[in-house]
Structure 1
Amino acid sequence: MPVKFGTDGWRDTMDGDFNLANVERVAQAYIDYYQAQGTAAKGFFVGYDHRVDSEVFARRTAEVIAGNGFPVMLSAQACPTQVVSFVVREQGLASGVMITASHNPPQYNGFKVKEPQGCSSFPETTDGIMKFLDHKPVEAQCIAPLQVYDPREAYFKYVESRIDFAKIKKSGLKIFIDPLFGSGSGYISELLARHGIDSVEINNQRDVKFGGFNPEPLAYNVPDFIKTIKQADSKFAIGLILDGDADRNGACGSDGQFINSQKVFSILFHHFAENLHKPGKLVHAFNGTKLLDKLAAELQREVLVTKIGFKYIAEEILRGGVLIGGEESGGYSASGNIPDRDGILNSLYLCEVVAAEQKTLEQIYAGLESRFGVHSYDRLDMHLANEQKDKVIQTLEQELPKEFLDKPTKAKEKFDGIKVHFADDSWLLFRASGTEPLLRIYCEAASDAEVARLLKSAEQFALQC
């Protein structure tokens, strides 16, 4: 059965190749790799999300590790992905595994590997694991301790050391939370409650179908949350959204208006650089908004652009000197924190910036637009067979179209996908997903209407390839 690691681990459908037998094979290859590295005796931590049978896959992974004679801790309950990263780094473990497919549809599950530094796996690590696949039979008869561990309290203290909860409480901010039925349920609300801050949380029970939506913090996945905020009719409110494993986050303004990830990233960078006056460079993926670059230029901050996938951002963070790194899909990591996405911590940073400025998210972002211009953004996910999505990329590589609709193209840039530039600073990016039969098309332009027009034209182009 084929097993392939993509940009952030191995993912597949549970009616396909993600099954217990293949999880055992990957778990055995995983422990064989770390045994060969000479670090396996340091131990491991295994976590899991709210998907179908995630706890079964996680326990079996832990049993294989223990069956090979190495210490392992299994999370006492479903937990966010970044909590696995946190435990691995704080306890000096060899590595960690998170059973999750993150924001993918409910039929998917996955096997994420975490580095000892507390970040996503590097290509050399996953390549090394794959070399040990089927190297020897699966060992699952536990001959080493398998400890059940609850990481919540240690993680809560970590977050509390970084957030000004007193300022949030004093501000009177009305806080709404939607964990999208995922493994981040209860985390933000409990952290706030520990400091006497009330919140309203919906969709916080386990639902393996995620309410009929994909567990990704996008506007079309949270209609009930937007409605909840609008009905509250608060003038000073914030909506916090987590993805299925809570390492990514999204947001809504006080009127329920969805605040996309490009805007969230811009607000976070503004907060750290201009409110908190923290030093360091900016790192963003190839599909990042140009508003980030303009703000960095004004502040004379160095900018590094990476491939898409947080592991590439984590590599730059680990090299040092980074204030914040982030990506379009809603994952960010700030200076001094674990070098991994953390939707819970970053959601609380959003509360902190709103409390500090006594302005809503939409007002803060409007201030950035008044300085750097309007940067409207959207993304189109096209479900295409692998052969067809690859053909789109090949066609663009061979020749740049002269225009999309009536908008002349200026140049193309090949890095992680194909980015098409236009004379007015707008752009389209075509990128084939490494984990799903998807072609993602990203667009930034000077208005929502222009973004919609360009995405429609790009979609028609892709269908004609």
Structure 2
Amino acid sequence: MAIRFGTDGWRAVISEDFTFDNVRHVAQAIADYINSGQAGGATDAVVVGFDTRFLSDRYALTVAGVLAANGLPVYLSKADCPTPALSLAVKALGAAGGVMITASHNPPRYNGIKFKSAFGGSAMPEVTGAIERLLERNLREGRLPRVGDVAPRNEGTPAAGEIVRFDPMPMYLRHLRTLIDFAAIARSGLRVAVDPMYGAGRGYIARWLRELGVMVAEIHGELNPGFGGLHPEPIGRNLQDLQRLVLEGGYDIGLATDGDADRIGAIDARGEFVSPHMIIALALKHLLAQGKRGLVVKTISTTQIVNRLARQYDLAVEETPVGFNYICDYMLKQPVLIGGEESGGISILGHIPEGDGILMGLLLLEIVAQARQPLHTLIAELQATCGPFFYDRIDRRVRPFSKRALVQALTQAVPATLADQAVVSVNDRDGVKYLLADDSWLLIRPSGTEPVLRIYAEARTPELVQQLLAAGVQLAERSIPTS
């Protein structure tokens, strides 16, 4: 098969394309890349971690073995760990890179490999492209992966060709304490429900909150490689158990992280889902109130409330294509106050350039604790001053077509109005986004991996959102090329 890295790694179905043989080949290409001297980092060490999926621990040990057989020092996580904890460890240890075995929020039948660069975030496309070319070369020339039988040891710093087990939690917690007001959370008296969705975030938030004396309940925290039948993506329809727990237990807030804990979702005290749009906006408002400043970066499909808040404080906003690696690129070049995407990957000033569901869950607790108001009240106040805005998205399967031709057709025939509002600008950085006079918007975006059209809309009422979505379907159907 042709192994390709998407916006955040290579993912495939376990035992079909995600096999031990293919994992070894990818690990060899990564070793070749690091040994070429292009990776950077203070050392040539590699940090390897894994999530809770079926065989993830064995795949991680396999990757570590190939890397060590190529003469590289390897840190291997003692247990499943969140992707942001792995990424932070890469930077803290001065490693040349990191390998995370995870398929993130994908269904349980998938697994994957994320490669992290020395700066502690997802590798840029030019890096994953170089790894792909090395992989293709090895396969074309019949080069087999180097395989050793190095037994991991439990302490110390690995030398060349050695594997050392380590725990990323302590250094991750130390770093989060520089960003989050744990004392305010401890004093708050908040009752918190946590749902790691059987993923690698299990035990992190709940353990720390218990140590602070906060009343906390965690569900879906046991090891279950099949995720108990759940789809480990923290969106409303997947969080019914958390909603029930919050309502029946009288909790003030529910926090959910995805399969590798780089995404966040939340439930308020009324049992209502709090979208990443609102979490990003609340976090931005909170950071601004603390006097912090910097560039605001968001993906093209994220709420305009962010833009309105930034305008109030005379801050620049950059909109990127979908994918946190685009946000990461900005964070590497200048101070970014907050960077986020509508899927729940968010980071803030002072953190690594990586979406972090655990960090954002704790920040949400800090926001509620310091405001001394319920989460739903804070959202209502935000909507009153910067909204109101409502959002929805639909996905439509279509026959394969030329994405470039669709974008060209949509930009050449721009409607004058949508939902009785004038179209004031068009953004074609990722699909086509029509921005309207009242800051409502419609985005038609082809998937980068399958024949699916994603149609997004945000507007002043739920009814207008549905009108925009319907208009988007019509525009797309007229514009999809016939051949």
The verdict on a shared fold, with TM-score over 0.5 as the criterion, is yes
1:79-118 alignment, distance < 5 Å: 79-118=81-120
1:282 counterpart = 2:299? no
- My pick for the range that moved more, 288-297 or 450-459, is 450-459
What is the CA-CA distance between 1:459 and the residue it aligns to?
Answer: 4.2
- After superposition, the Cα gap between the structure-2 partners of 1:394 and 1:50, relative to the gap in structure 1 and judged at 3 Å, is farther
CA contact (8 A) 2:338 2:346 kept: yes
Matching of residue 418 in structure 1 with residue 426 in structure 2:
no
Alignment partners' CA distance in 1, 2:181 and 2:475: 48
Is 1:268 the counterpart of 2:290? The answer is: no
Q: 1:238 aligns with which of 253, 256, 259?
A: 253
Distance (Å, rounded) in 2 between the aligned partners of 1:437 and 1:366: 38
Q: Give 2:362's aligned residue.
A: 348
How far did 1:207 drift? 2.7
Change over 3 Å in CA distance of 1:435–1:89 after alignment to 2 = farther
Verify the 8 A CA contact 1:48 1:79 in the aligned structure 2: yes
For residues 291-323 of structure 1, what are the alpha-carbon distances to aligned partners after superposition, in whole Å with 9 as ceiling and x for unaligned? Answer: 111111111112222222111111211212221
Please say if residues 18 and 109 of structure 1, whose CA atoms lie closer than 8 Å, have aligned partners that are also in contact: yes
Inter-partner Cα distance in structure 1 for 2:90 and 2:204 = 19
Letter in 2 for 1:443: A
Over residues 393-444 of structure 1, what are the superposed CA-to-partner deviations in whole Å (9 max), with x where a residue is unaligned?
5653553467768877565321111112334432111222334554322211
- Report deviation, 1:68: 0.8
Compute the TM-score of the two structures, normalised by the length of structure 2: 0.89
Q: Does the Cα contact within 8 Å between 1:86 and 1:118 map onto a contact in 2?
A: yes
Q: Is the 8 A contact 1:390 1:432 kept in 2?
A: no
Aligned to 2:379: 365
Query: What is the CA distance between 1:160 and its match in structure 2?
Result: 2.7
Q: Please name the residue that 1:76 is paired with.
A: 78
**Partner of residue 160, structure 1:** 177
1:194 aligns to what SS in structure 2? helix
- Is 197-206 or 411-420 further displaced after alignment? 411-420
**In 1, distance between residues paired with 2:109 and 2:472?**
28
List aligned pairs for 1:303-318, cutoff 5 A.
303-318=317-332
Query: Which residue is equivalent to 1:137?
Result: 144
- Aligned match of 2:23: 23
Q: Which amino acid aligns with 2:197?
A: L
Distance in 1 between residues matched to 2:358 and 2:91, nearest whole Å: 18
Match of 2:67 among 48, 54, 65: 65
Q: Given that residues 7 and 434 in structure 1 are in contact (C-alpha distance below 8 angstroms), is that contact kept between their aligned partners in structure 2? A: no
Show the counterpart of 2:244: 227
- For 2:156, the equivalent position in structure 1 comes to none
Contact preservation (8 Å) 1:10, 1:110: yes
Residue type of the alignment partner of 1:447 = T
* Structure 1 pair 385–82 and aligned structure 2 pair: CA distance change class (3 A): farther
> SS at 1:4's partner residue?
coil
Greater mean alpha carbon deviation, residues 73-82 or residues 391-400: 391-400
Note the residue ranges of structure 2 that are not aligned, 5 or more in a row: 151-160
CA contact (8 A) 1:389 1:438 kept: no
Return the alpha-carbon distance in structure 1 between the equivalents of residues 346 and 287 of structure 2: 12
Which residue in the other structure is 2:462 paired with? 448
Q: Aligned residue for 2:158?
A: none
Q: What residue is the counterpart of 2:153 in the other structure?
A: none
CA displacement at 1:33 relative to structure 2: 0.9
Give the whole-Å Cα distance in 1 for the aligned partners of 2:476 and 2:12.
25
Which string of whole-angstrom CA distances, capped at 9 and with x for unpartnered residues, describes residues 39-95 of structure 1?
Answer: 595210111111222222211111110111111111111111011111100000000
Superposition TM-score, scaled by structure 1 size: 0.93
1:2 aligns with 2:7: no
From 278, 295, 300, the equivalent of 2:314 is 300
- Aligned residue in 1 for 2:223: 206
Contact kept in structure 2, 1:114 and 1:120, CA below 8 Å: yes
Secondary structure of the structure 2 residue equivalent to 1:350: helix
SS of the residue corresponding to residue 283 of structure 1 reads: strand
- Alpha-carbon distance in 2 for matches of 1:221, 1:23: 30
Question: 1:179 aligned to 174, 196, 201, which one?
Answer: 196
In the TM superposition, 1:430-449 aligns within 5 A as 430-449=444-463
Question: Deviation string for 1:24-51 (max 9, x for gaps)?
Answer: 1111111101111265952101111112
Return the alpha-carbon distance in structure 2 between the equivalents of residues 384 and 108 of structure 1.
23
SS of equivalent to 1:444: strand
Mapped to 2, the partners of 1:25 and 1:351 lie a distance apart of: 43
Which secondary structure state, in structure 2, belongs to the residue aligned with residue 5 of structure 1?
Answer: coil
RMSD of equivalent CA atoms: 2.3
From 428, 453, 457, the equivalent of 2:442 is: 428
Q: Does 1:257 align with 2:296?
A: no
Contact 2:421 2:438 in 1 (8 A): no
**What is the DSSP-based 3-state SS (H/G/I as helix, E as strand, rest coil) of the residue aligned with 2:301?**
coil
User: Mean alpha-carbon deviation: is it higher for 423-432 or for 38-47?
Assistant: 38-47
Alpha-carbon distance change, 231 to 90 in structure 1, aligned in 2, over 3 angstroms: same
Change (3 A) 1:358 1:209: same
Aligned match of 1:55: 57
Deviates more, 1:303-312 or 1:86-95: 303-312
1:454 CA drift (Å): 2.7
Q: Which amino acid aligns with 1:75?
A: S
Counterpart Cα distance in 2 of 1:306 and 1:155: 28
